[in-house]
Structure 1
Amino acid sequence: MKRNLVAAVGVAAMMASVAACGSDGGGEAAKNPKDRKETLTVWLMVDAQSTWPELVKDVNDRFNAKYPGVKVNVQYQQWADKTKKLDAALSGDKFPDVVELGNTETMTYILNGALGEIDPKKYENSDTWIGGLKDTCSYEGKQYCVPYYAGARVAIYNKDMFKAGAGAETLPSTEAELTAALDKVQEKYGKDKAFSPLYLPGRYWYAAMSYVAAYGGEIATYDEGRKEWKAALSTPEAQKGIKHFVDLVEKYNHGDKTKDEQDHANVMANEKAALLYGNGWEAGSITDPAGNGNAELKDKILTAGMPGPNGKALPSFIGGSDLATISKSKVQDLGEEWISMFTSAKSQEVLASKNILPNNTKQLEPLKAKPETAAIAAAVPDAWFTPIAPGWAAIEKKEVLELMLLDIIKGTPVEEATKKADEEIDKLINEQS
């Protein structure tokens, strides 16, 4: 979709100045790779440090074999404060040359002029990049980042609880069968007033919007004629999805309905829930004692596709990460080459071996037949994504969707709450964040 580029402000104003980026000088003037003497600073999220450190080492070793004089300085970041640190770094002269961004974060930095343009042809498997990642790197027909890995949400359930309550340890494939099973699980474990057969937090907007997508609704739509976004939560389709979500929350969540999903894995680890809807990797955190998990549940926690309305699977939000170079870096060419190595088919194979979804559909396909990843891999092709709009970051920051859901949980009619949310979204969605 084509849109007029929003005038760069804030960080973009800083892009006009030529500043150092942690490199030692030299740049492309040194044509021979062995003559390059710069420093390449890479910001990766802590996931890479904890889960695939051998991949980082292997890529750095291969990169240094070609550029022995270049120092690769990998700095690991936390999701909670990464963007705040990045914004501060971009306002000065000590910033990374390569940065990992969540796929809901990229548009803000593209519009601010912070990211360097890349040529997809330089990257392996770019012709089969997963759409939900590629689209968040694209603007006005140009590409500004490279898909790194993908994620999707699935049903995570305790098979022993389903077997004891509903007579089968396999999750039902339709929602009608699932709710019937949840009713039986409730009968079995309902003496514990804190137990929820399905723990679905009321402010869990990713889940709520999945039900909106299931009914053909959207958060917002793009008007090609007017070249602007328009909120769509008060359409009949979106309202039907939100009502469906809230009905499930009201019937099956016996915990605090006003919470979001941040602690739902912990709820299951404490055996206060039989089923939740979450990221595939959360199944591991439920049983990991190093992270408040319950090791006794090992081999009891399984994943499956989440049944949705109308006899179909529930559409999942497509999450994941992208990698980008910083536009004012003096070593953008080195950054692009490092990213190319880090996202190569060889590197993606390492991620796939750890049940992390690769950035392309070609290498995703085998994971659909692997029991540990079948559900999450199958959820990716039909996944939905948030509006790729200039003001989306502001909408998330103001928690417009969470507050709308909270109002509904507290008794505000869906029609009234969605109308209010649409008005707020319309004020923000077309504005530069």
Structure 2
Amino acid sequence: MRPGLNDGGVMTYTTTTITQKYHDAIDAWQQKNFPELELLMKHWDEYFKGVPPFQLVAKVGEVKSEVIEVGQYTGKKRFEHAKEMVGNAFFSARDIVRAQASTELGSIQQHRLTLDKAVSDKGKFAVLRIMAEELRHAYQMFWVLDQDPTWKKPGLGDVAKQTIEELLSMELGSHVLDAFNIDFNDFLDNVTYATVIDLVGKYQLEMQQVFSYAPMARSMGPMLQEEAFHLGSGRKLLKEIGQMAARGEGDYSVEDIQRAMNLWYPRGLEMFGNELGGETAITFGFKDKSNGTAQGEYVEEVRGVIRNVNVGIVQERIPRISREDAHQLIDEIERGGDPRKGIKPEDLVSLPDNRFFRKRGPEEIIFQPYDVSGQPITRQGRLLSPDEYLQYLSTVLPSRFIGSREYNKYVDQMREFYATR
């Protein structure tokens, strides 16, 4: 292992590699799914001067405590080997590692679809760096599986080998979580995704720093450090796109931004799992917050991100207005629903209600005809039928999403849901 240093010269992690056959396998995956890595490396210093160049390695960080911090094993030494996790804990840990790796590989496949539609070269190379770091995060999850021979169990076979091979075979449409199967149609998808979907990733990594399985816990710190760039890039680009829209420039309008948010935010909410659950992960010592608690914090952070975009929009529309006055103006528009100083509610981006466009979660909200503000939509005193709700969705979601593979999957799941009622 080689030591890794932070900007202050303090050791924060060591680096290592995985078994050569798996290293070669992920390298071959990269050549097929991310050949633009070569372009990124060629221009790295041009766009990221002073940042150490990308390396495909595992980074093994430190843990806050050598003992398990939450759950039924609190106070006991962390598990160094998978075989120490008994019963469902073994499979639950494998499922979390599998899902994490799937998100990393899926996001690369998604981002690549619209790289050439970037709003600027700087934006394009920011996404290329995000893709490279997602590749390293997948590699990190492979390390979690590969470094521990006890993932191989009698009667189950080599769980690590099976999982890695399955992950490398996944295409868009077959990844574990819904958000990572949606095809990008334009660069606004790249940006909105980096803003709201990568933010869920930050919450998961933070919660998993307590992971009772030590190799997973040691992986979280370095991944979190890299995730900060992803979030910062998404937020900066989203604000810039909002400001350009306010000036009547660029390829996207405020309505386009709103529709993109309407698409991605519900899938981000669902990445936490059912908001009424999550206790099992706490019991096993895998996370330190329930789904609902983490999701609630996420909602407030996204609300703040959208507010920052709106402040930028207002400052473009009303030159020389202070941030404080812009905040006050937005508060008044959101409270009253009326135009103020020439700015209408639809000139700003709003946060969709948590019940809108949900396919997973509490039964009382999934596939129900809620509008973007969380109101049940009725017609002649009755709730909209599934077909009528689909018609409504076509007016508030990106037009290119309607009729896509994942849209059709949503339609099929909705029809199946109502067929059993």
- TM-score, length-scaled by structure 1: 0.23
Greater relative contact order (Cα < 8 A, sep 6+) = 1
Higher strand share: 1
The structure with the greater share of residues assigned to helix is 2
- What TM-score does the superposition give when structure 2 sets the normalisation length? 0.23
